[in-house]
Structure 1
Amino acid sequence: MGKSVLVLLLLASTAWAADTQVTRNIPYAGNDSRRQQLDIYAPKDAKNLPVVVWLHGGGWRRGDKLLVQSKPQAFTSQGYVFVSINYRFVPQHEMNDLATDVATAIKWVHANIAQHGGSPETIFVGGHSAGAHLSALVCSDESYLKAQGLSLDNIAGCFPVDTATYDATKLIKFLDRANSSRTELYTNAFGDTAESQTKYSPITHIKQGTKYPPFLLLHVAARPDATLMSNAFAKAVNDAGGEAEAFAAKGKDHGSINKDLGTPGDEPTKAVFKFLKRHIVKTEQD
């Protein structure tokens, strides 16, 4: 991403910052790499508020934590601390590194967010596209959080936004048969082998006997692959004794479901806030 684009994004994101405390470029992995930094947006005088950790999209190979559109303002105005993170990219790094970055950022949030007005006991995770996949992976394969001294119990809920990669193995097989130009995008991210594709598919890790965070799986109603995968993942979680709901967003495409999230009157936004509110109450009761 060029410097001029970053400057414009910064200017746009500070236009509404009068009632919001914005802290940028916090290293979460013990180094100064921009790919392992996060930004925090918190209501002024925030104290013990629920937290949303957001993962940008970009095909696992591009994107930036500044690409948040209306989300910070929407969430802070509703009483949330909003955290937008960067993570490393393929093909320079493997998917394992990307998921490790997400878990490491969550660990940092859990340990430090109280200093920014957030509650470490109420952390939600969401993301769009590649970020949706990574949020679902880290919230289903507990090994990433365990490596950071955390567990799935530390996640109050997960709301991935429009991904078709809950089962990357099945998706890549289908694309191969269809001779799709999209195959390379997914094999670059998930690898060429069934073993690695299965390992990084969130649905692989849904099993009886594990307590998963609740899921809200938003997807574009007119997108067959995301619809099929979201419904299959929701069924797997529910069949395993967890809680998951697939929400079909009508009148959206892959870009607008993300761009519009946080805007007034947006139906997916309403669904997200309803989901968050329901599970904040449950967390407080627990």
Structure 2
Amino acid sequence: MVRSLGFAFCTLLALLAPEARAATDLSYGPSPRQTLSVYAPPHAHDAPIIVMVHGGAWMIGDKDNPGVSEPKASHWNADGVIFVSVDYRMLPEAGPMVQAADVAAALAYVQHHAREWNGDPSRVVLMGHSAGAHLVSLVAVSPALQQAAGVRPWLATVSLDSGAVDVPGIMQNPHPRFYDRVFGESPSGWAEASPYDRMTRAPAMPMLMVCSTERANSCPANERFVSKARELGGKADALPVALNHMQINQTLGGSNAYTAQVDAWLSKNAAL
């Protein structure tokens, strides 16, 4: 059913934006879930690339679900930017550390194949929402994950209302029950999967941590992350927005002040 909806969505995208070029379900690994779709603007030449990782509580979701690629792909395609939407393995097949390794592998694949889409492999931004924001943040602060996948330096990382910035902080306080399924009972496992705890040196690239002011714990956790990154000598910013968790994903790329704020940050920190 999800794949059928995804196919219908890609078909609709092609009808609405016939000039854009799409390459769907490219495999970056052996699993059926290790695929990505590329939306390239017409006449792209050495184009920058945004790599998007969907959310879904580490258990559900798809790169072609409504709100993941659109309106983002159309918005950034219009500015000459290639947009890539990534799938990854999910629970119960894969826990969050394996999922983060999948995201790193997808990023390496994009860098390796960028020239095939007339993209510039040195001008890549990594972006994710919710669980996907947790995963891109984890990759950004984990040199070991980057090295294992063969990832080269990228321009910036954008976290859209992460589902887990400080995993031990979540697990040691009242939390939704599904977090127990995702992160288990081991404090050492919590720390391993926690971007805040894994960050022991400055991230190599600028990071933007978007957070919802409508979620009680979102902005405080993201702001603590930003403070730690800066204390380590890194470049990081928090962007609190008065949108709910889903709106932060679904409205990005639309004609609104929030999109303009993200665009301004990308222009300043990634030259997009």
Return 5+ residue gaps in structure 1 as ranges.
none
Q: For 2:215 and 2:14, how far apart are their aligned partners in 1?
A: 34
Aligned ranges 1:96-245 → 2 under 5 Å: 96-151=97-152, 154-175=153-174, 180=175, 182=176, 184-208=177-201, 210-245=202-237
Q: For 1:37 and 1:224, how far apart are their aligned partners in 2?
A: 34
Letter aligned with residue 46 of structure 2: N
Q: For 1:262 and 1:79, how far apart are their aligned partners in 2?
A: 14
TM-score by length of 1: 0.89
Letter aligned with residue 5 of structure 1: L
**Kindly tell me: are residues 38 and 7 of structure 1, through their superposed partners in 2, closer, same or farther at Cα, counting changes over 3 Å?**
closer
User: Is the 1:41–1:82 contact (alpha carbons within 8 Å) kept by the matching residues of 2?
Assistant: yes
Report whether the alignment pairs 1:65 with 2:63. Answer: yes
Q: For 1:192 and 1:260, how far apart are their aligned partners in 2?
A: 35
Q: For 1:20 and 1:159, how far apart are their aligned partners in 2?
A: 24
User: Is the 1:60–1:130 contact (alpha carbons within 8 Å) kept by the matching residues of 2?
Assistant: yes
Report whether the alignment pairs 1:26 with 2:26. Answer: yes
Query: Deviation digits for residues 169-201 of structure 1, max 9, x if unmatched?
Result: 1011112xxxx4x1x321222222111111010
User: Is the 1:91–1:188 contact (alpha carbons within 8 Å) kept by the matching residues of 2?
Assistant: no
**Kindly tell me: are residues 146 and 4 of structure 1, through their superposed partners in 2, closer, same or farther at Cα, counting changes over 3 Å?**
closer
The root-mean-square deviation of aligned C-alpha atoms, in Å, is: 1.6
Among candidates 32, 35, 38, match of residue 37 of structure 1: 35
Q: For 2:55 and 2:230, how far apart are their aligned partners in 1?
A: 26
Letter aligned with residue 36 of structure 2: L
Q: For 1:174 and 1:111, how far apart are their aligned partners in 2?
A: 42
Q: Which residue of 2 aligns with 1:274?
A: 264
Runs of 4+ in 1 over 3 A off after TM superposition: 1-4
**Kindly tell me: are residues 192 and 162 of structure 1, through their superposed partners in 2, closer, same or farther at Cα, counting changes over 3 Å?**
same
Return 5+ residue gaps in structure 2 as ranges.
none
